[in-house]
Amino acid sequence: MLIAGNWKMFKGVGEAGEFCRALREADLGTVDVVVCPPYVSLAAAVQALSMTEIGVAAQNVHWADDGAFTGEISAPMLRELGVYGTIVGHSERRQFFGETDDTVVKRILAAMEHGLHVIACVGETASEREAGDTESVIRRQVGAIAEGVADTDDLVIAYEPVWAIGTGKTATPEIAQEAHALVKSILDVPVLYGGSVKPDNAAELAAQPDVDGALVGGASLDVKSFATICREASHS
């Protein structure tokens, strides 16, 4: 069971260090734990969490090792910082920054080539679900990854229905289970659930047979709530 905290564009260096020092002291149960700070706070998080089992991952990575790509960060740069992995293809990247199934695959391949673990995100929007397209969207997004990535040892998929992200509308455990089973029928890797995971719904989501953890946004920004989610998920 893996619980990953996606901080999005929250917590600069000072706050990140403070959070990680508090996290070190918190009871996180028995799950594997990863935090994903913004780029500028990665070094502070790596430093504060060295000598612990808690991993630090980035929120994105470019596919080239270096080059004229203003504003981008490469896998070797992340490795040099001691970062363990990266999120790829988050729906906010897909919605607001032009991420496509093709660029998701390119990023995954580059990350893995340099030894980074990857959390690749998929999930349908509200209108896609309403139109009955959930299955075809998941098949397309996961299918692109399955086709493009041969070695999936260091790959985890996060199923994040876009309508559940930051909305307080969590998928029911049944909806999550159904989607996770579909993902696994296409690509046999662990699948995290993401979208309004909170201390009070973490246990029932984690109890589903094909839910292997959670990618937590808003509720990962507070040590107490993140630690509670980790402990709740530890019970299942």
Q: Closest approach of Cβ 169 to ligand PGA, in Å? A: 9
Residues 190-219 that bind ligand PGA (CB under 6 A): 194-197, 215-219
Residue facing ligand PGA at closest CB distance:
217
Q: What is the spatial distance between Cα 161 and Cα 129, in angstroms, rounded to a whole number?
A: 9
Active-site residue, from 90, 92, 117, 232: 90
Return the axis-axis angle of helices 42-49 and 13-25, rounded to nearest 10°: 20
Active-site residue, from 92, 160, 180, 232: 160
Per CB under 6 A, does 228 bind ligand PGA?
no
Q: Closest approach of Cβ 102 to ligand PGA, in Å? A: 22
Per CB under 6 A, does 99 bind ligand PGA?
no
Residues paired with residue 56 on neighbouring β-strands, in sequence order: 35
Question: Is the CB of 23 or the CB of 202 nearer to ligand PGA?
Answer: 202
> Tell me, what DSSP letter sits at residue 184?
H
Contact flags string 123-162 toward ligand PGA, x per CB under 6 A: -------------------------------------x--
> Tell me, what DSSP letter sits at residue 199?
T
Per CB under 6 A, does 5 bind ligand PGA?
no
Per CB under 6 A, does 88 bind ligand PGA?
no
Q: DSSP alpha helices (H): ranges in the chain?
A: 13-25, 42-49, 75-81, 91-96, 101-113, 126-130, 134-148, 173-186, 202-206, 223-234
CB atoms within 10 A of CB 54: 21
Say whether 90 is catalytic. Answer: yes
Per CB under 6 A, does 165 bind ligand PGA?
yes
Cβ(117)–Cβ(84) below 8 Å:
yes
Say whether 160 is catalytic. Answer: yes
Q: 119 by DSSP, 3-state: which?
A: strand
Q: Closest approach of Cβ 130 to ligand PGA, in Å? A: 19
Among the residue ranges 99-107, 139-147, 189-197, 225-233, the one whose residues contact ligand PGA (CB under 6 A): 189-197
> Tell me, what DSSP letter sits at residue 170?
P
Residues paired with residue 156 on neighbouring β-strands, in sequence order: 119
Q: What angle do CA 182, 188, 191 make, to 5 degrees?
A: 65
Binding site for ligand PGA (CB under 6 A): 6, 160, 165-166, 194-197, 215-219
Catalytic residue numbers read 90, 160
